[in-house]
Amino acid sequence: MISAGSNDSLFLHSDGSVWGTGSVAGYSPGATSPVRALQLPNVVAVAARFFGGADFALLADGTLWGSGIGRLVDGTAQVLLQPQRVPGLSGIKAISVNDHVLALKEDGTVWAWGKNEHGQLGDGTMTDRYVPAQVTGLTNVTRIAASSGSSLALSSDGTVWVWGYTCCGAAGNGLVPANDLDPEMHHLVPAQVHGLDQVVGIAAGGVHHMALQADGTVWTWGAGNSGQNGMGNLDSY
């Protein structure tokens, strides 16, 4: 497994060890060749930091550990050079990191913490939170994806749910918010993306999102100003 952050990269070896390049904890200005990082046993997944955040490692026992900015890991103001366990979380099977952290539990619930200026934590507020809290109204989730300011979840029934910053049609409900004062710009709790079912994979971009359906087709919605929707134009959908 590999993970690319804003200023570092993580590599999970088959023996469960983690290696990194760039601004991994303890290396300044950065490691130019792979060094041992997040020195923990039995790592099964990694997520690299974004925008000065934290690197995370998921262990086989379902616990989550991180190093970097402490408030994203253990809620402290310290810079953590050695990984510390995220308190209060167990039974984790997947993680996704951006300016906030999403953790998917084995029971299908999603937990979130970090930045929340757009409602990306899905707790009904726009208040930053540095203690994991359950995302409102989501059950039976199988996949998660965090982007800058928004979040996606895939349910076991093949439906997709989105919350947070939904500029340019990123809510997938056919509406394109006029400006930041438009209530449609910020979804504070998860809302279902219209017209999608039998989805098996998701990806969250900055202000556009993607879904892979069981028939092998790819669907996209949101901002298209750089052609990222692949529709042959620069339109938003």
- 74-116: pLDDT as tens digits: 988 899 989 999 999 999 999 999 989 999 999 999 999 999 9
Look at residue 167 in the predicted model and tell me its pLDDT.
76
> How does DSSP classify residue 10?
E
Q: What is the mean pLDDT of residues 19-31?
A: 83
Kindly tell me if the per-residue pLDDT of 230 is higher than 70: no
- Closest CA relative to residue 135, chosen from 160, 118, 147, 153: 153
Q: What is the mean pLDDT of residues 168-181?
A: 65
Kindly tell me if the per-residue pLDDT of 224 is higher than 60: no
What is the pLDDT confidence band of residue 169, given thresholds at 50, 70 and 90? low
The two three-digit tokens of residue 169, written as one number: 């049609």
CA distances from 231 to 162, 171, 228 (A): 22, 18, 8
Is there a contact between 155 and 143 (Cβ–Cβ < 8 Å)?
no
What is the pLDDT confidence band of residue 232, given thresholds at 50, 70 and 90? low
The two three-digit tokens of residue 175, written as one number: 């509406």
Residue 76 CA neighbour count, 13 Å, CB half: 12
Percentage above 70 pLDDT, the chain: 86
Which of 23-37, 41-55, 142-156 comes out lowest in average pLDDT?
23-37
> How does DSSP classify residue 50?
S
Could you give the CA distance from residue 131 to residue 142 in angstroms, rounded to a whole number?
22
Look at residue 180 in the predicted model and tell me its pLDDT.
62
The two three-digit tokens of residue 81, written as one number: 């050079």
Model confidence, pTM: 0.89
